Structure 1
């Protein structure tokens, strides 16, 4: 009996830890239901999904939201979204509900739907940006008219068993909880109105639940060593090894080869690491007071374009970023006393779309960092990141003992390079 109890608490603790992200401790997706008006047999509600995660967005093919009704509710109509199935509505005569399933599944509408089917913050194909990247795009919403639901706060029952897929598994949703009613401003912004009833559902993400293997890996190189530290072999598992293709394969010229599959199965370029994404961190240059890093992201999946991609790196010198070229950058400070984590993402309409594998399947930038003279060193792999995340999932790093090492006496020589260049420059001026 004691063993069973201990195992139960261990499982609860492990599940909680798996969903906790130390770099984004308060990140979650909050689903809010606001009952806006009563109908003869139910209510009309505005359902809003807010992505409060700093660097994890919902990408194509978008979110899927599900729940189980507490009673015998039906959905009469929806604006800004739709259910994937209608269910058995044969008992209804005359007007037929939009959905009669006990556990409906709802998806967002695609952009460009007629105006009368649109709702505020709807119709993005289910794509929702990360809060830290673009707060204005970190929301999705729709309107639903619910019947057979009760017509007062006392008779309405909260839905149960919420599920969120975005676009794959990984999210765990808690129970719906009644909260203080939301306040709204009228269109002229001169008067406040209030929802008749509001409840929230909070969903958190766990990479452990989302996938068995990492989805990205990291490789390293430096100017002071010719050795390139590659991604670990089978870093993302080698289960796709039989279905991978070489970069010059004739298969890649076939029509439809880049079309995503319904099950999101990848078509990967054959590599030793078998990862869809590789991040390469190259220590490029050293100056007297600054040092320079080049970051490259390569897509090896022929069926996936990454929209609104994000790259998060943890390194102690990110508290002194001077300039980022070709990427946007934002520091992330989960703890006030530590500022060692930053988010890189693409510039809008320039490189915010990481194309599928091929000649255009990469983006790159350079970062100029000011040295902290008390801690800066090239020794023992200090110049390489401690953690790297792509689209919110932690990437596999090489073992520390394989990092490009600093040759004997190279540290002094490396720091002397700027002085040597200046000396040569003055010599040339003098000769001239």
Structure 2
């Protein structure tokens, strides 16, 4: 018998320190457990398609990727997989013949994605990207992952319509820091041979990523800003990076150079938050000891001012991690005159540096 509908096995909300993200209030990662073929009469192994959907607007899952795990309800075993593999086989000595053991007999299996270049007979659609998932805005074609399994030794359950079906697993975990668990300091476990933090250039801030907001030119009806994102990490490139900025004048963004852009928070004509990311095959990878940069031209509205730090962003996120903002008393004071503004910025006294606080 073939299943006709997907079953949402679990949904994971990203847990941040404030437990709510106003920029992406509905962001989540959803796991679908879709029975494809099963026969409850002879209890032969069933086939299931498992899919992972990243419904987060601007947060993506980076390398080393997702590690999906769950608890079986009975004595289930995984006979075969396509598009992913278990990290351990477990004890399969009591199942099958000596030359035909199951792929995995763990009570709590951990599945990982296969790498690009996997042979076609081991692939399914949306597999084989090393566990990396794009954010929904950046690329909705690569924000989903999937793999297929053949599962045996299962127990039966009754669905809401009274029909018999295999018992579904429970307690899913996506294995991504910051998702479905409280956030902890981003310091990985270390040993004598492995540093506990990224290797970065010696600098005043000692952070792997720096965001630089430069109020560059003041026109009569417009103003121009240059944004530079620098990678101080000496051992890591950031592929498919993204930057989220919150500023009230983004609703009047008229021209942008070298980056993609999409508004994130829109209520009628109100828009103060936007997502920026690189152009494919041009600057979508932030290289070690490198940088990416853009310039934007914004139209001045009635609330425009250079006083009180208004010209600088309210919030900045890099790859989903919130950046530390400088204290208010360190914000440069900007004059309203175009010529005075231009001179003071060139002198280097009006450059706002926003430092990324998390070790990513």
* Aligned residue number for residue 201 of structure 1: none
Structure 2 equivalent of residue 134 of structure 1: 139
- The CA deviation at 1:274 is 1.9
**Which residue is equivalent to 2:217?**
285
Q: Distance in 2 between matches of 1:299 and 1:133?
A: 20
SS in 2 for 1:110: coil
Tell which structure's C-alpha radius of gyration is larger: 1
Alignment of 1:19-418 (within 5 A): 19-38=19-38, 40-94=43-97, 95-150=100-155, 153=159, 154-166=164-176, 169-172=177-180, 209-212=182-185, 265-333=197-265, 335-336=267-268, 338-356=270-288, 358=289, 361-372=290-301, 374-406=302-334, 410-412=335-337, 414=339
1:411 Cα deviation from its structure 2 partner: 1.9
**C-alpha separation between the residues in 2 aligned to 1:155 and 1:416?**
70
What is the Cα deviation at residue 337 of structure 1? 6.0
SS in 2 for 1:401: helix
Identify unmatched segments of 5+ residues in structure 1. 1-14, 173-205, 216-239, 244-260, 418-432
Q: d(CA) in 1 for partners of 2:171 and 2:61?
A: 21
Report how far residue 416 of structure 1 moved.
10
- Distance in 2 between residues matched to 1:90 and 1:334, nearest whole Å: 58
Give the number of equivalent residue pairs.
Answer: 315
TM-score of the aligned structures, taking structure 2 as reference length = 0.82
Q: Distance in 2 between matches of 1:377 and 1:46?
A: 55
CA distance in structure 2 between the aligned counterparts of 1:363 and 1:16, rounded to whole angstroms: 27
Could you tell me how far apart the structure 2 residues matched to 1:265 and 1:17 are? 21
- CA deviations 1:92-140 (Å, max 9, x no partner) are 2322110000011010000001110000100011111100111111111
The answer (yes or no) to whether the contact 1:42–1:150 under 8 Å persists in 2 is no
Whether contact under 8 Å (2:70, 2:172) holds in the other structure is yes
Q: Is the 8 A contact 2:218 2:341 kept in 1?
A: no
Deviation at 1:370, TM superposition (A): 0.9
User: Which runs of no fewer than 5 residues in structure 2 stay unpaired?
Assistant: 1-14, 343-360
Name the SS of the counterpart of 2:172 in structure 1.
Answer: strand
Could you list the structure 1 runs, at least 4 aligned residues long, displaced by more than 3 angstroms after superposition: 15-19, 39-42, 150-155, 334-338, 412-417
Larger helix percent: 1
- For the 8 Å contact 1:25–1:334, the answer to whether it is kept is no
Question: Is the 1:87–1:101 contact (alpha carbons within 8 Å) kept by the matching residues of 2?
Answer: yes
